[in-house]
Structures are given as structure tokens and as C-alpha cells.
Amino acid sequence: MVYEAIIIGSGFGGAGVAHELTKAGIKTLMLERGTWANRDDDDWNPEKIILQSRYWGPEPLYVKQNHASGFKPIPVNEVVGGASVFYGGASMRFREKDFANWPLSYSALEPYYSLAEKILDTHGHAGADPFEPPRSSAFPYPAIPYNPPAARIFQAAAKLGFRPFPVPLSLNHTNKEKPICLQCNTCDDYPCKIEAKGDAASRIILQLNSKFFTLNTETQVTRLIEQDGRIIGVEYFDRKTKEINVVKAKLFILSAGALWSPGILKYSFPDRADAAFDFVGKYLMRHCNGIQSAVFPFQTNPTQIFHKQIAITHFYEDLRQELNTSVGVIQDIYTPSRNVVKAFVPTGLKTVAGCFANYIQSLLCIAEDEPQAANGIRLSTEPGAFGFPRLEVFHSYSANDYQRRDYLLTKAQRILRKAGGLITRSTSLDSFSHAVGTVRFGNAPAQGALDPFCRLYGTQNLFVLDASFMPTSSGVNPSLTILANSLRVGHYLRQQGREYWAI
């Protein structure tokens, strides 16, 4: 088949633009290095998913974080739908003030937030969030009643004068035309066995018109091929045939994520030294997250029911004047199984942790982190798999980042104690699941690598649509914003027509 557009990556960024392009009858090829999730019993098995990491790919990241002395290999999940398959469904919009340093306003993205919520069957309660930005429409479906562990947190937070509310969730409890959530406690970090979670694979990719859409799995992209300021093809390694292939088109969308997209750009353009390209691989953000836990004198969730239902943004703006960012949010999260808890605590505490796992309830604190040019990715001199160098990720938090996180942890501790917790403990959470930045957009090449519609400056037909476009991280999960922006740019490309990128 002759393709008009090629999309690299199948997460919310790639899936969102595919949704728009295929609606316009544009013949689109999507290249994904992973395979389809199995959607079987083992996808809800904590040992298989968390401890044995069933979907690890053959190419790890090499990470140096928090001023460590060296790089440590960290395996990466690889599936169709990307990181969206493993997220917990939290679908919150950025607030208006979060767009202060962006080349577009909240109002420009708002219609696409509404569209994204509709696509993902998002459940929520409009107006309950004290810092919710203006909406042009209600949530597609109402939030469900709180289950007992969530109700415990809601009541404690309300007694302290805070304003807890139902976290908007893209988990289907209402639309009977699709699988209904069973309210298990395996959302965060797990694929949904029954496809009740609104991930990119089940809600978008599987719904695309096969007349205009082709998905090639197990294809590891190695480089973009440029000629006279345009991309003319993509080189990739086919893991099934062990061959290197090239596929050509007129329009190219890079959506490999905030870590891999800048790596592909750097490998493809080793000699570029213009002002815009200097931003590529810099300003990595990932949120400064922490978990506040408490041991209760009773089992906190004896029926093991879903309870990721509460969010608290009461403190979102508390430090903006001082630190020029939001603080972030607090969310209720599930407690991992006893075996998982034991695996992640220090050796001397494993037995105790296993015994008390059923008596623990925790709150996740998601703090905004500030963009720092020194945080980012680079290509190693060491070879990796499939002809691509190892990808090295380096990131350290600032004192301000820790200040925001600790501010939230202190508030979370008060809530847990008010709920009846006796012993509290906080832990840091070093994860790149919310990685953003690295190919930021701006109004001019001196402000970012991408223009306001996420086209790479200096390259007519290459757009970058994933979490890497963000110049700031805000204080909420970036998933909905990634999808909304991809829908926005996809709609723009449809409006411009083929002559815009095909000349």
C-alpha cells in the first residue's frame, strides 16, 4: 500500500492524530515496537505484571537520577497503546494558569479536552473540583458512588476543611455498549483484561477504519530520512523478519514518547545545530511524586474493591506566587498486594510489611516539577539493540520540586491521621510514567523545538505529538492533555489539507 502519513508510536499522541487523519480518508501507517496486550488472567496477576514485568521489551533505558554515580538499566513495557495501557485512568485537565508559559491558551485546547473525554468514556462530576477550569460540556458520564476506602478519605479530608471530589476517570462504569468496569484493584500498572479502561489501544486504535489505517507491530524505528528540509522516509528494524526496511510517505508524526522521540530526532539529525534543535533532549520533567501511607487498626480494604476515586486540589495554587508553578494534587491509590509490598521494602522490613499490607492505606502526591535544561536524554556511545544507540536518561529534582512534594505529603499525612491512621510513613516515587518535555513547543525557534502546532522548526512535514511537546508539567496526570493536543493538531492537519504537508 502507498501511505500518505506515517505515525511512529501508538500511545495517546499517535492514536489521537490517527483518529483525525483516518476520518479524513488519509491512508495512515502506524509503526509500533511492541505487540498487543494479551488481555488474559495474567494481566491482572501482580507477580506477572509488577514483579516479573510481562511486557518488558528488549531495549531498556539507562537512567541516572538524583545525582547517582552511574546509569542503571530500567526495562520498559512495550505494547500497542503505549503507556496508556498501564495508566490508572486518571483524566484531569490542566488548569488555565498552567498555560502561562505555553504558546497556546487553555481555551484553544478546551474543545479537544471535551472530545478526548468523550472518546475515553470519562466519568466525573463537573464543578466539584475547586480549581476546575471552564468547561463547554459536562463529563460524558457521572462519577460512581465512593467505595468504603475512598469514602474514608473523603470524610477525613472534608472534616479538615478541604474539598475532595471524584477524580475524573476513564474507566467505563456506565456505557453498556462497551465492557463495564468490574471495580477490581488492578488499574494502575496493569492492562485491563476486559478493556473497560479507556486506553489508546481499546478506545481509539481498534476503532479506526481499516480502509485507511494499517498497524505494523514489532517495528523498531531507528531513524528518519531527510532530504532538502523534508522527511521522505522512516527506517525501521522488523523484529519478526530481522530485516531493516524503509517506508515512505508525505506526512510524518513522531509519537514515541518524551524519552524515545528526542532520541530518534538526535540519531536522525546528528549534525543539526540550529537554535530550535538545541531544545531537543532537554528540559525533561516527570513530576516529583511521593506516597504517604498509614497503618490503620483495621483492614482498610478487606474486599479488595476499587477505590481510586478521590482527588484533592485544595492546595493547587498555594505556592504559585512563590515558586511560579502549581503545587499539585493528592489522589487516593490502591495498596499493592502483600507480595508486591514485600518486594519493594528494605530487607529488614519485608516480614513486617507483608503482615501489615492489608492494614495500609496510601495517598499519592503528584507535585509539579520545574523544567531544567540539565535534565534530559542523550545517545550513548554504547550500542543498543536493533542498530540504535543506548538511550541515557538523566534527571535530578530541584529544591523547589522537593518543597512542593513535601508540602503535599504533609497535607496527606493529616488526612490519613484524621481517617484513623496510626503510624504514617512517606516514600519517594522515582518513576518516568509522567515524563514530559524534551521537545518543547514555542512561538519561535528561540523558545522551542516545535511551533505551536508541534511541527519541528526547519522541517516542513514532521510533527511531534506525545508528552515531549510540553514546556511545563503542571500538577496533574498528563494523559488527557497529550490526547487533547494530538486531536487538536490532527484537526489542524485535516483543515490545512494535503497541500500543506505534501508539497
For residue 120, the number of C-alpha atoms closer than 13 Å in the C-beta half-sphere is 36
Mean pLDDT in residue range 469-479:
98
Q: What pLDDT sits at residue 353?
A: 65
Q: What is the pLDDT of residue 385?
A: 79
- For 233-266, the pLDDT digits (tens) are 999 999 999 999 999 999 999 999 999 999 999 9
pLDDT of residue 46: 87
- Number of domains the chain contains: 1
- CB burial of residue 151 (10 Å; 0-12, 13-18, 19+): middle
In this prediction, residues 446-460 reach a mean pLDDT of: 97
Residue 196: give its domain's CATH number.
3.50.50.60
Helix (H) or strand (E) holding 285: strand 282-285
- 197-241 pLDDT, tens digit per residue, is 999 999 999 999 999 999 999 999 999 999 999 999 999 999 999
**Element containing residue 429 per DSSP (H, E):** strand 423-429
- Model pLDDT for residues 58-108, shown as the tens digit of each residue: 989 999 998 888 899 999 999 999 999 999 999 999 999 999 999 999 999
CB 31 within 8 A of CB 221: yes
pTM for the model stands at: 0.96
User: In the structure, what pLDDT confidence band is assigned to residue 15 with cuts at 50, 70 and 90?
Assistant: very high
DSSP-derived pairing of the beta strands 288-295 and 165-166: unpaired
Confidence at residue 344, expressed as pLDDT on a 0 to 100 scale: 60
**Residue range 278-292: mean pLDDT, rounded:** 97
d(CA 196, CA 208): 18
pLDDT band at residue 341, thresholds of 50, 70 and 90? low
Q: Which domain covers residue 206, as residue numbers?
A: 5-502
Q: Band the pLDDT of 298: cuts 50, 70, 90.
A: very high
The 10s digit of each residue's pLDDT in 182-198 is 999 888 899 999 999 99
Other C-beta atoms lying within 10 Å of the C-beta of residue 233:
17
Strands (DSSP E) found in 163-261: 165-166, 213-216, 219-227, 230-238, 243-248, 251-254
Question: What is d(CA 79, CA 384) in angstroms, rounded to the nearest whole number?
Answer: 20
Per-residue confidence band for 343, with pLDDT thresholds at 50, 70 and 90: low
Q: What is the DSSP letter of 104?
A: S
Whether the per-residue pLDDT at 404 is higher than 60: the answer is yes
Q: Give the residue from 256, 266, 281 showing the smallest Cα distance to 394.
A: 281
Range of lowest pLDDT (25-34, 50-59, 319-328): 50-59
Q: What is the pLDDT of residue 62?
A: 94
| Element (DSSP H or E) covering residue 117 | helix 106-119
Give the span between the Cα atoms of 331 and 439, in whole angstroms.
29
Q: Which of 84, 44, 41 is nearest to 203 (CA)?
A: 84
pLDDT of residue 296: 96
Q: What is the pLDDT of residue 442?
A: 98
> How far, CA to CA in Å, does 11 sit from each of 4, 255, 368, 410, 461?
20, 7, 22, 34, 20
For the record, the C-alpha cell of 462 comes out as 514532521
